[in-house]
Structure 1
Amino acid sequence: LETKIAAMFGMEAAIYCPSGTMTNQIAIKCFTQPLDELIADQTAHVYRYEGGGIAFNSAVSTRLLNGPRGIISAEMIEPEINAENIHFPHTSLVVLENTVNKGGGNCYHLEQIKPIADLCAKRSIKLHLDGARIFNALIFTGDQPLDYGTCFDGISVCLSKGLGTPVGSVFLADKNTIKYARRLRKVLGGGMRQAGFLAAAGIYALDNHVARLQQDHDHATLLEETLNSCNWVTGVLKVETNIIIFDTVKEASYYLPKLAEKGIKATANDIRRIRFVTHLDVDPDQIQYTIDSLKSLNE
């Protein structure tokens, strides 16, 4: 599995871990030193949803940017790179997320990434991709995984989201980085016994579950169209992949139980914001049932 996915992205090596949080935290530890600073968007998973691991595991501070729907640019990043001065933390890492979870599954295109990669190379800053849903982005943009290997120092790829495996995420980088990553995985408790059958599921998913992501995207678009016609919905973030985020007239806590009664699982993203995700376990009949159920909530 590690050899296969590293080759797909043109990277030298890879390491299989239990979770995307672990692969991201290992990457940050590999690419920084204590007292350094990384740059990321304020919606970034590494900042919001990894338990403060940046500070705890790596003793690194975070410079947060506010990009449109979580997409940051080289023009936004460059003025936030600290000068070499003992008063400032050393800027050593930029982290991008593709697709952007909090942004509603929206994507970076390669032409947006390349200027960031060029800036990081010029300033001797490492560039890591939280690619938990990278294959969704590739399906949407038509970009090729090999091109990503030329832009990033490290890439995390989740196997248990859109690809549908039981568990696992892979960190891709050069051989020396992955050698150190294996020590970090051990220290963090991520070394698993008898993990071959989990890795086998990852191989199967890479061979069989990438192209079918388009169906998830199509399903998400159908839900987007329906939600835009519902009078209890005030707005829907433009859908690009398999995440649907929408705002509601009343608080999300009012609608979630009603959806649950109909067997529809959703989460609140804010007081009046709800999130759906389509995936391989949701078939066309279930999408139609969901569409009918959403319409039934019209008041």
Structure 2
Amino acid sequence: DLRSDTVTLPTPEMRDAMARAELGDDVYGEDPTVNRLQEMAAERLGKEAGLFVTSGTMGNLIAVLAHCSRGDEAIMGTLAHTFLFEQGGVSAVGGVVPHTIPNQPDGTLDLAEIRSAIRGADVHFPVTRLLLLENTQNRCGGAVLTTEYTRKAADLAHEHNIKLHLDGARIFNAAATLNVDVKELTLPADSITFCLSKALCAPVGSVLCGSREFIQSALRQRKQLGGGMRQAGVLAAAGIIALEKMSARLGEDHERAHRLAEGLANIPGFFLDFGEPASNMVFVSMDSAIKQTASQAADLLAKQGIRVGAVGEKRFRLVTHYWIDDLSVQKTIKAFACLGKSY
């Protein structure tokens, strides 16, 4: 199943940890397993505090609510997950206005365009309060934002008294690609959300990290959104294993993504949309001469036991993860080759 790394099931070690987790009431701050996860996450990312939330979507929304007031403006990419795939929550719930600028092919936002998007003091304008970046950038092929770029973007934001929030759903994948400590990518940001339930293989949850003052505000926002959980240590226990064990093995997923991309690129009628994968995502398209749409082709592949995501008329997204081994890669290439015979 290559539709996403969200399909990952918890490992046996995670299941055992969940069964044995020490529990308390987290709304009272008394679940020791949740507290440990939050402290671990904050330490790994170089922040003062962390907050366990149900999803990356909730974490991003909470961050925007904590940084912004109603009517404020947040700069983000036209391909940002927060803009495209979070149901407009920043506007619907927070009354915050997205100011979008184009993502570059490498996932970045042009610094000059960011500077131009920052509102002046004219009373006709909303106040620019937040810059939001995504690393890795999903719709740019899993592109990785570098440490240098993140620092420059943060410096630009802070120069104008604007906060930087990092949607780091797959930030550990970015660190694996760059072969750096994840702190190098997160320290410049004022806040960051990362997912436990994607490449890190936990069943549920994300962690939002930032300063103690910010997390205290975020805690109130989480409660208002109905995100307070009671004996949540059952879930947090898997997150601890994810941080301790899974973040160190992500390079294996990236290597398999490279082999998968190479194999697909060699099939007549198929081509890579973003070249060699930057992390664990492969975007591949079919030539227009192939009769099927991507959705129809995905249905045919599913009958062969290969599940992939159709993300356009002729485009697929395939995501490698813990449960995709070398044999899975070989089977997938072979199944696509059968599709290519109609070319």
* TM-score bracket for the superposition, by shorter chain length: over 0.9
The equivalent of 2:175 in structure 1 is 138
The equivalent of 1:242 in structure 2 is 280
The equivalent of 1:258 in structure 2 is 300
TM-score, structure 1 length as denominator?
Answer: 0.97
Per-residue CA deviations over 1:70-123 (Å, capped at 9, x if unaligned) read 321322210111111111111110000000111111100001111111111110
C-alpha contact (below 8 Å) 1:109/1:143 kept by paired residues: no
Where 1:212 maps in the other structure, the secondary structure is: helix
Per-residue CA deviations over 1:244-298 (Å, capped at 9, x if unaligned) read 1111124212311111111111112111111111110112221221122122222
In 2, Cα distance between the equivalents of 1:212 and 1:10? 21
In 2, Cα distance between the equivalents of 1:73 and 1:206? 32
1:22 to 30, 34, 58: 58
Using the TM superposition, name which of 257-266 and 119-128 deviates more.
Answer: 257-266
1:78 aligns with 2:115: yes
C-alpha contact (below 8 Å) 1:13/1:174 kept by paired residues: yes
Where 2:61 maps in the other structure, the secondary structure is: helix
- The structural deviation recorded for 1:149 is 4.1
Using the TM superposition, name which of 239-248 and 126-135 deviates more.
Answer: 239-248
Where 2:311 maps in the other structure, the secondary structure is: strand
The equivalent of 1:231 in structure 2 is 268
- The structural deviation recorded for 1:236 is 3.1
- The structural deviation recorded for 1:49 is 0.5
1:36 aligns with 2:65: no
Where 1:270 maps in the other structure, the secondary structure is: coil
1:196 aligns with 2:233: yes
In 2, Cα distance between the equivalents of 1:243 and 1:148? 20
Pairs aligned (count): 299
Instruction: Give the CA RMSD over aligned residues.
Output: 1.2
In 1, Cα distance between the equivalents of 2:242 and 2:330? 26
C-alpha contact (below 8 Å) 2:76/2:133 kept by paired residues: yes
Q: Structure 2: any 5+ residue segments left out of the alignment?
A: 1-36
C-alpha contact (below 8 Å) 1:96/1:129 kept by paired residues: yes
The equivalent of 1:207 in structure 2 is 244
1:68 to 69, 85, 104: 104
In 1, Cα distance between the equivalents of 2:331 and 2:316? 18
- The one-letter amino acid of 2:211's match is D
In 1, Cα distance between the equivalents of 2:230 and 2:152? 41
1:287 aligns with 2:287: no
- The one-letter amino acid of 2:136's match is T
1:49 to 85, 90, 94: 85
Per-residue CA deviations over 1:18-60 (Å, capped at 9, x if unaligned) read 1000000000001111111111110001111101101012101
Query: Structure 1 vs Structure 2: percent identity of aligned residues?
Result: 38
1:153 to 160, 182, 190: 190
Moved over 6 A (4+): none
- The one-letter amino acid of 1:156's match is T
2:203 to 157, 166, 191: 166
C-alpha contact (below 8 Å) 1:30/1:181 kept by paired residues: yes
Q: Structure 1: any 5+ residue segments left out of the alignment?
A: none
The equivalent of 1:118 in structure 2 is 155
In 1, Cα distance between the equivalents of 2:333 and 2:134? 30
TM-score, structure 2 length as denominator?
Answer: 0.85
